[in-house]
A and B are shown apart, each in its own frame.
Chain A
Amino acid sequence: GQQLNQSPQSMFIQEGEDVSMNCTSSSIFNTWLWYKQDPGEGPVLLIALYKAGELTSNGRLTAQFGITRKDSFLNISASIPSDVGIYFCAGLRNAGNMLTFGGGTRLMVKP
């Protein structure tokens, strides 16, 4: 299946800084999901987006479902050391289809 283009591949930031990452595709998706994987753990769902243009927050995290349905963004405000991990976007075209994952963004936070 087609892989989503996720960027950046990695980020090394100072504690307190804001973070932005995004996923783009040449195809339309009807659901966008953002997962975080802590070191040594499996991915855990952060935010699910089901409607084009939707903006959803979860604490310091905000994600948007792009209006074209071909992209999604995740922002983290005021980063802290426990934000370290790999963030994955995932898209779903239709119910019953399989998820397509981005390549991941590895976030490192310097205290």
Chain B
Amino acid sequence: DVKVTQSSRYLVKRTGEKVFLECVQDMDHENMFWYRQDPGLGLRLIYFSYDVKMKEKGDIPEGYSVSREKKERFSLILESASTNQTSMYLCASRVGLNNSPLHFGNGTRLTVT
């Protein structure tokens, strides 16, 4: 089974802090994704990466950046956290650029106070 692991289940940070959300997958997938999930809005894509050191903006990249130094690890960075970034963050991976399904981690619930 594919395993996508997010390092933290819950995080509480202060406004203005730099925040790192880490994600690791163990199936050698090329593609990794970061989504945020908000009630009624479903999942919205923040950034994705289709290879090491490659990144592409998703639908809502403002206020975020990402890093993919190794194939198995994809980090989401909030340069200066704001209260409107309080949300559930989901990491996902999939093999190749085809129609194979996404495999999700268990999520990180971030609260910015």
B-binding residues in A (CB < 8 A): 1, 3-4, 6, 9, 30-31, 33, 35, 40-45, 48, 50, 88, 90, 92, 95-96, 98-99, 101-104
Contact = CB atoms under 8 A, between A and B. Distances in A.
Interface in B6-41: 9, 33, 35, 40-41
B104 A44 contact: yes
Contacts of B4: 42
Size range of the interface on B?
Answer: 20 to 34
B106 interface: yes
Considering residues A1, A99, A103, which has the most beta carbons from chain B within 10 angstroms of its beta carbon? A99
B62 interface: no
Contact of A88 (B33, B40, B43): B43
B98 A103 contact: no
Contacts of A9: 40
A31 B100 CA distance: 9
Contacts of B106: 40-42
B41 A92 contact: no
A33 B42 contact: no
B99 A30 contact: yes
Contacts of A41: 106-107
A30 B99 CA distance: 9
A33 B101 CA distance: 8
B54 interface: no
Nearest to A3: B42
**Interface-centre pick from B45, B101, B105 (highest chain A CB count, 10 A):** B101
A27 B99 CA distance: 17
